[in-house]
Amino acid sequence: MKKTAFLFPGQGSQYVGMGSDLYQEYDEVRELFDMVEEIARINISKLCFKGPLEDLTETVNLQPAITAVNLACFTAIHKEGTHFDITAGHSLGEYSAMNASGVVSKEDTFKLVFKRGELMHRESTQHKGAMQAIIGLPIDTVKELVTDVKKEGVVSVANHNAEKQIVITGAPDPVKKVSVLAKSHGAKAIPLKVSGAWHSELIKAAQEEFSSFIDEIHFNTPDRQVISNVTAEFVEDVDEIKSLLVKQLCSPVKWYDSMRKLMSEHIEIFVEIGPGKVLTGLLKKIMPKDYPGKLYNVNDLKSLERFFNETS
C-alpha cells in the first residue's frame, strides 16, 4: 500500500459554490454543516454555496466555512475507507488535519476555528495590517530584509510556502518597505487581499485568550502522524499540540519544510482535501522532478471519483 498524506488548505482557497455537490450527495455532510451553523450562528452553507464572496472572505465567516468544506471532503473520502498515514494542514487547515488525525472531534474543531476567527477578526479591526507574497528570493534573504526594516515597525515572515515563495506580514508601511527592498533584489512582491496581519505580533493579544479557550477543549493523542506548522515536525504530546496551535497564531507557517519532511518520509501520494488547488500548486514547485510522488485534489464529487478511479 502506497504511503499517503492528506493535506488540508486554509484561508485563500475559498470560492463561491465550494462543497455544494457534496452537501447534496451525503447526509453526513449536511449534518456537518448543521453542526457548524449551530456553533457559529452563521449561515455557513449559504455563504459557501451562494456567497457573496466578500462576506465569505471575512475571517470570522471564512474560518468555519473552509473548515466545514475541508471536513466535508474528508468525510466523503473517508467514507470509502481510504488509507492514509500522515496529515498536515496549512495554517487554518491544521485544525482539519488535527481532526483527521483523531486529535479533536468535529464539534470541537468547529468551536476552535470559530473562536480563532473571532479573535483574529477582533485584532485585525484594532491593528491595521497587510501581507505580501515575495516571489523569487530564498528565505534567508527575506529574513535579512525583514530584520533591516523591523526597527521601523512590525514586520515578519508569515509563511514559507515554497523555496522562493514567502509571505511577509505586519503593519502596512514596514511590509511595503520590505517589498520595495525585495523588488530591488529582483523579486516580485504581490499584495494579498487579507483583512489582517496574520501570523504577526499585531494579533498577539488573541494568543492569551485563545490559550485559555483551547485548555477547555479535550484533545487526544493522534492516531495518525500529524505535522505542526510551527516546527515542521511530527507532534504527539497533547499539551505540546495545544501550545503549538496557540503559537501558530503569530508564528511563521513552515509549509516548505513540512513538505520536505513528508518527502523524507517517502510519501508517494499527496491528497489536497478541501477547496481549491493551492497546496498541490505549491507541491509542484517544491517536489524535485525525479521524486516519485503523485498529487491529487479532492474538492467535489468529480475529483473524488477521479481519485478513487486512479488509486483503487
Between CA 108 and CA 166 the distance in angstroms is: 31
CATH number (3.40.50.720, 3.40.366.10, 3.50.50.60, 3.90.1150.10) of 4-125+201-311 reads: 3.40.366.10
List the domain boundaries for the chain.
Answer: 4-125+201-311, 128-191
- Here the cell at position 287 is 517536489
* Separation in Å, CA 17 to CA 53, 69, 244, 306: 10, 10, 32, 20
- Here the cell at position 103 is 486529535
Catalytic residues, by residue number, are: 91, 199
CA angle 128, 45, 11 (to 5 degrees): 35
* pLDDT of the residue at 89: 98
Does pLDDT of 80 surpass 90?
A: no
Segment 199-215 shows an average pLDDT of 96
Does pLDDT of 132 surpass 90?
A: yes
Between CA 196 and CA 59 the distance in angstroms is: 9
Give exposure, 246-265, as e/b (b: 16+ Cβ within 10 Å): bebbbbbbbbbbbbebbbee
Sorted by sequence, the CB contacts under 8 Å of residue 163 that are 6+ apart come out as 138, 139, 256, 285, 286
- Here the cell at position 266 is 517517502
* pLDDT of the residue at 63: 97
| 92-110 pLDDT tens trace | 999 999 999 999 999 999 9
pLDDT category at 65 given cuts 50, 70, 90 is very high
Counting other chains too, the contacts that 51-58 makes at CB distance below 8 Å and 24 or more residues apart are: 51/16, 52/16, 53/14, 53/15, 53/16, 56/14, 56/16, 57/14, 57/193, 57/195, 58/121, 58/195
Between CA 123 and CA 131 the distance in angstroms is: 15
Between CA 252 and CA 248 the distance in angstroms is: 7
* pLDDT of the residue at 195: 85
Segment 258-287 shows an average pLDDT of 98
Segment 57-74 shows an average pLDDT of 97
* pLDDT of the residue at 55: 95
Specify the residue for cell string 473562536: 115
Q: What is the CATH number of domain 128-191?
A: 3.30.70.250
DSSP string, 205-271: HHHHHHHHHHHTS-----SSEEB-TTTSSB---HHHHHHHHHHHTTS-B-HHHHHHHHHHTT--EEE
- Here the cell at position 168 is 511577509
- Here the cell at position 43 is 449561515
pLDDT category at 255 given cuts 50, 70, 90 is very high
pLDDT category at 1 given cuts 50, 70, 90 is confident
Percent of the chain residues past pLDDT 90, beyond the cut: 96
* pLDDT of the residue at 242: 98
* pLDDT of the residue at 7: 98
* pLDDT of the residue at 66: 98
The pTM for the full model equals 0.97
CA angle 39, 44, 48 (to 5 degrees): 155
* pLDDT of the residue at 312: 80
Provide the terminal-to-terminal Cα distance of the chain, rounded to the nearest Å. 10
Nearest Cα residue to 281 out of 59, 3, 13:
13
* pLDDT of the residue at 263: 98
| 161-205 pLDDT tens trace | 999 999 999 999 999 999 999 999 999 999 998 889 999 999 999
Q: What are phi and psi of 161, to 5 degrees?
A: -85, -40
Query: Average pLDDT, whole number, for the chain?
Result: 97
Amino acid at 251: S
